[in-house]
Amino acid sequence: MVKVMAVNAGSSSLKFKLYEMPEEKVLCSGNAERIGHEDAIFGIKWADQSEKKILPILDHARAVELVVQAMLEKGIVKNMNEIKAVGHRIVQGGKYFSHSELFNKDTEDKIESLIPLAPLHNKAHLVGFRAFKKILPDVVNVAVFDTAFHQTMEPQDYVFPIPYEYTEKYDCRRYGAHGTSHKYLSEMGLKYLEGIKHPRIISCHIGSGASITAIKDGACVATSMGLTPLGGIMMGTRTGDLDPSVMNYLCKCTGKSVEEMYQIFNKQSGFQGVSEVSNDSRDVLKACDEGNEKAILANKLFIRRIADYIGQYYVRLGGADLIIFSAGIGENSARTREEVCEAISEALGVKINKELNSSIRGKEALLSTNDSKIKVAIIPTDEEVMIARDTFSFYK
Ligand code: ADP
């Protein structure tokens, strides 16, 4: 038995989960939030207990110290040598990484060189990695990339129709995101596809960030997010795909800079922007029930975009055997699942058991009826366990 930690370091947060491998037993999980502040928050859950405190956490190294201290204090580990490996989530692996990699100097340099493609994320991941290295110098560190699963796309699926010089010189292309989740979902989905020689899966990771991926024979063929997570379907605060001239036109109309408009496309658009109610689909759906017209429009746009991508990927895959719903909205919102299935049912012959669908939240289930042309399932995603699995495979 080996203890392996999965880490997700953001610019002001550090989430962690400790596993016993290969059993995949969760020993503890927690989060340091508001790193950089005097009133930061540190929370940890273990066994059936939890603790939360407010205290100064001025940098990530301090956050890692607190993680270590808490695990020793609570008896989750007897000494830190029990932790043999740490897996770090990395948002952008660019063209370099098609699978997880040992976090050595070369990996570190490449992640650093990719900062322009994911400025907030990759920088924070490196800070997190260095903090762990300082406090736990002897463990195996592994980098697990959100983009890696999508590296099997063919050029016609990842090249943008811009001057090829830019594709080559600036590596400007589709990379996608949520790859660790889509890989997990595609593996978990196989149990519904026994006897099918070349399984074709469309996985819908729909949370406040949302992406859809077409998967054939376990490999990604196409994915909706683009150069960054801004592309693809509409999200909580992101636009998803747009006519590129919208940027130019709105900058001229409003006098805002490209950077300001880019921030608006990322942080004030999607559900938030159209509904003017909230970025949270729960609030938007509630407003729909109350007859709020902008909320109704926002929801229609959202469903339309998901249905359109499913249609696109149905064609790309030459058909589909399984559609998976996952993440915050996909796992919890029966209404969204039902409306998406309704929107594709005429064209694709998808049928779900509506009663079963409306009774299920956050649990795995096969929703499609026997006469549905494509199976439909809810599968709760688990990115951390994928990080732990990959990390453990390097330690073995
Ligand atoms: P992310 O990881 O991208 O931050 P999550 O996958 O955790 O997002 O999804 C969070 C979102 O899930 C929330 O913003 C909310 O819109 C949505 N959500 C959660 N529960 C429900 C529900 N019961 N009905 C509708 N939407 C829900």
Percentage of the residues of the chain whose pLDDT score is greater than 90:
94
**76: confidence class by pLDDT, cuts 50, 70, 90:** very high
Catalytic site includes residue 171: no
Cβ–ligand 1 distance for 330 under 6 Å, the answer: no
Beta-ladder partners of 43: 31, 52
Confidence of residue 280 (pLDDT cuts 50, 70, 90): very high
Q: What is the mean pLDDT of residues 265-284?
A: 96
Q: What is the mean pLDDT of the chain?
A: 96
Q: What are phi and psi of 241, to 5 degrees?
A: -60, 140
Read off the pTM: 0.94
Residue 136's closest CA among 85, 101, 87?
Answer: 85
Burial (Cβ within 10 Å: 0-12, 13-18, ≥19) of residue 5: buried
Q: What's the pLDDT score for residue 10?
A: 87
**pLDDT tens, position by position, 188-239:** 999 999 999 999 999 999 999 999 999 999 999 999 999 999 999 999 999 9
Contacts 24+ apart (CB under 8 A), 296-299: 298/270, 298/271, 298/274, 299/275, 299/339
Q: Is the CB of 282 under 6 A from ligand 1?
A: yes
Report the candidate in 137, 221, 138 with the shortest Cα–Cα distance to residue 179: 221
Q: Which of 212, 282, 359 to mutate to test the pocket of ligand 1 (most atoms within 8 A of CB)?
A: 282
- Among residues 106, 120, 173, 181, the alpha carbon closest in space to that of 380 is found at 181
Whether the pLDDT of residue 338 is over 90: the answer is yes
CA of 331 to the centre of ligand 1 (A): 8
Residue 11: per-residue pLDDT:
82
Q: Confirm or reject: Cβ of 270 under 6 Å from ligand 1.
A: no
- What's the 3-state SS for 107-160? HHHHHHHCHHHCHHHHHHHHHHHHHHHHHCCCCEEEEEECCHHHHHCCHHHHCC
Query: Does 362 have pLDDT greater than 90?
Result: no
pLDDT at 119: 80
Answer whether 374 contacts ligand 1 (Cβ < 6 A): no
pLDDT in tens, 108-154: 999 999 999 888 889 999 999 999 998 889 999 999 999 999 999 99
Which ligand 1 atom sits closest to the C-alpha of 271?
16
Q: What is the mean pLDDT of residues 261-281?
A: 96
Ligand 1 centroid vs 325 CA: distance in angstroms?
12
Tell me the average pLDDT across 90-114: 96
Could you say which of 39, 48, 138, 146 is catalytic? 146
pLDDT of residue 153: 98
Q: Say if residue 342 is exposed, middle or buried (CB neighbours under 10 Å; 0-12, 13-18, 19+).
A: middle
- Position 72 scores a pLDDT of 95
